[in-house]
Amino acid sequence: MKPIIIKNSRLPKMLSWFMEVGGITLFPFIFIRGEGDERLIRHETIHIKQYAETLILGFLLIYVWDFLYGFAKYKNYDDAYRSIRFEREAYGNELDIRYLESRRFCAWAKYKV
């Protein structure tokens, strides 16, 4: 499904506690700070696909689990965030303009925390 993109949202800024948040995806919405750019929208659209593949609740549970596991391992918010398998897929492919068309079902599953 196509995401519903909300530009110039205040939500990303409100969530910028420990890092600068440019966008946040809460299925089926993508909230963007300012106008965003292709890279950011592609990153968040990868999260939309992950949400759909995990029936939304699975995304949230795995996301929180990976963050807590990463935080216990790295003792640092940024490294914990970067270790989340959904973020590893999104950051690893956000610059690939053809990624969304070529992406395999549940591509996130090959990433390890």
CB nearer to Zn ion: pick between 66 and 87 = 87
Q: How far is the CB of 49 from Zn ion (least distance, A)?
A: 12
Q: How far is the CB of 47 from Zn ion (least distance, A)?
A: 6
Which x/- pattern, by CB under 5 A, does the window 49-88 give for Zn ion? --------------------------------------x-
Does 90 bind Zn ion (CB under 5 A)? Our answer is yes
Cα–Cα distance measured from residue 48 to residue 51, given in angstroms and rounded to the nearest whole number: 5
Question: What strands lie across the sheet with 23-26, from one edge to the other?
Answer: 4-6, 29-32, 23-26
Place of tokens 């659209």: 45
Phi-psi region of 16 (alpha: psi -120 to 50; beta: other; left: phi over 0): beta
Does 41 bind Zn ion (CB under 5 A)? Our answer is no
Q: Which residue is nearest to Zn ion (CB)?
A: 90
Q: How far is the CB of 25 from Zn ion (least distance, A)?
A: 7
Please report, for residues 20, 67, 111, the alpha-carbon distance to residue 72 in angstroms, rounded to integers and kept in the order given.
22, 9, 18
Which positions lie near Zn ion, rule CB under 5 A?
87, 90
